[in-house]
Structure 1
């Protein structure tokens, strides 16, 4: 049986893959093109179709996830718009640097090494910092967070201490200099443009560790930014006919549920657990990219399949852990209330 010229089995596979990625996207604010595009390339799709369809999927999923985070009060629109402005400028400069490396014939090797080091470095840092923490849970009412009492990373505290006018008040009661926000946004955009990636895995930790935004709001605000970047990118590829709806529609069908589940889980899972899962996801991603690059250097196509298996395994492992943690927290709520009543 075929639908839109594609077998029902393949459509079901895309829908299942979309569900897994939707959970990761809603939970971390990243993971779409980072997982979808390599998978499509290994499956034999043309590069422009893989990238264009991946961007269209990212756009649709980010809209769904952002709406859920909005319902939970986890999107800072003011910060999101400022980050978009700074990131856009950084992207242009990063793109210029990448083009310069291409003219020198060094782009592939430099970008690949930088990508692996950045993914691995951020993943290791976030995991180490989370495991050092006290494992405290999330404060679900982000509007009532007291900036003086909340646990803010030391780097973010230092950045917030610079009172350079104008100061911007963020959700949760934090105030940060406009210029420092734009500086962080420019730096993350620069890395994104240089590496040729969406940058969600850079922006989310940057919002938390550099600006001091609580993790759930960092995820929601990052998704809000991706709505714009994914929308523009998918529109450009759609105009050239590089968006394959037989890929995008079933992926979105699965992610429509997954993104809402992942977003809802950020209000249930402890903040330290979110950071641990995020770090593990990046470490596995770095391993997958490294394996693919080694396969290219040694001309061993089988390593591309191994890389894809690592990506799919990472998506299944981490999305399963997220779902399990959220269900565990939900099941613990009635028992906690019962204890309170007895007391």
Structure 2
């Protein structure tokens, strides 16, 4: 039986895959194209279709997740617009660096190595900081505008906030940061995003917390707000060239519509320390998967592509399961509190 021109088994697979990614996307503000594109490539779809359909899915899922975060008061639109401006400039510079490296014949190897070490490095750092207990707990998830306790702000963010170069910008969570510091962080994250050719959610979300100092739930919600614009523009450009396959995108979105809302709501329930641990483990799994794929490419071992995909999907499944489990546990502990209901 065929639906949307694909078999029922593949349709069910896509819906389930969309549900899984939706949970991660809503919870972390990243995970869409990071998972969808390599999976479609391994399934045999052309690169243009895999990337374009992945971007279209990211756009749709980010809209769903952002709306949920907005309902929870976890989107700082002012910060989001400033980050979009800074990252756009950074992406252009990063692209120029890639073009220069291509002329030297060094782009592929340098980008791959950087990607692996950056994913692994951020994953280790976030996991270590969370387990150590810095910036943990403390933030009131029920009041996104509540002031952040000084002990809950990472040391790097405290240093950046100490540079009182006018104009100063007041952000959600009682955070006040110089406009130039925000644009500087945005430019740096955009530079890495443009250099690596990725959406950059795994860079921006920790940057918003560790460098600017906004609470983790607001960092996730604001990051998703940015992805609405980048995913929308990217998917539109690919769609103009026929790179978006709706028979892929629609089933994925059907699953993610629920998953994104569950993941987004979970950020208001799960402890911030747990969010950071799960995020770090997700990046470590991704780093290992990319490393395996690159080794397979270097030595011509085709089966390593499949191993890489299994590692990505396996880590995603484990982390999303942990998110749901933590949410259910938190709900049971706070049963009877109407503010902690998954809508």
Q: What TM-score, normalized by structure 1, do the two folds share?
A: 0.96
Matched, 1:51 2:71: no
Distance 1:262 1:292, change over 3 A: same
- In the alignment, which residue of structure 2 is the partner of 1:283? 284
Q: How does 1:131-280 map to 2 (within 5 A)?
A: 131-133=131-133, 136=137, 138-149=139-150, 151-280=152-281
Deviation at 1:281, TM superposition (A): 0.1
Q: How does 1:101-120 map to 2 (within 5 A)?
A: 101-120=101-120
CA distance, structure 1, for counterparts of residue 28 and residue 102 of structure 2:
32
CA distance, structure 2, for counterparts of residue 93 and residue 81 of structure 1:
19
Deviation at 1:149, TM superposition (A): 4.2
CA distance, structure 2, for counterparts of residue 6 and residue 289 of structure 1:
29
CA distance, structure 2, for counterparts of residue 335 and residue 70 of structure 1:
24
- In the alignment, which residue of structure 2 is the partner of 1:340? none
CA contact 2:68–2:264 (8 Å) conserved in 1: yes
Question: What's the C-alpha RMSD, in Å, of the aligned pairs?
Answer: 1.3
Q: Secondary structure at the match of 1:175?
A: strand
- In the alignment, which residue of structure 2 is the partner of 1:317? 318
Equivalent pairs counted in the alignment come to 337
CA contact 1:92–1:190 (8 Å) conserved in 2: yes
- In the alignment, which residue of structure 1 is the partner of 2:295? 294
- In the alignment, which residue of structure 1 is the partner of 2:89? 89
CA distance, structure 2, for counterparts of residue 300 and residue 31 of structure 1:
26
Cα distance per residue 1:262-291 (max 9 Å; x no partner): 000000000000000000000000000000
Q: What TM-score, normalized by structure 2, do the two folds share?
A: 0.96
CA contact 1:138–1:267 (8 Å) conserved in 2: no
Deviation at 1:146, TM superposition (A): 2.4
Structure 1: gaps of 5 or more residues = 338-343
CA distance, structure 2, for counterparts of residue 334 and residue 6 of structure 1:
43
Deviation at 1:4, TM superposition (A): 1.8
CA distance, structure 2, for counterparts of residue 229 and residue 127 of structure 1:
27
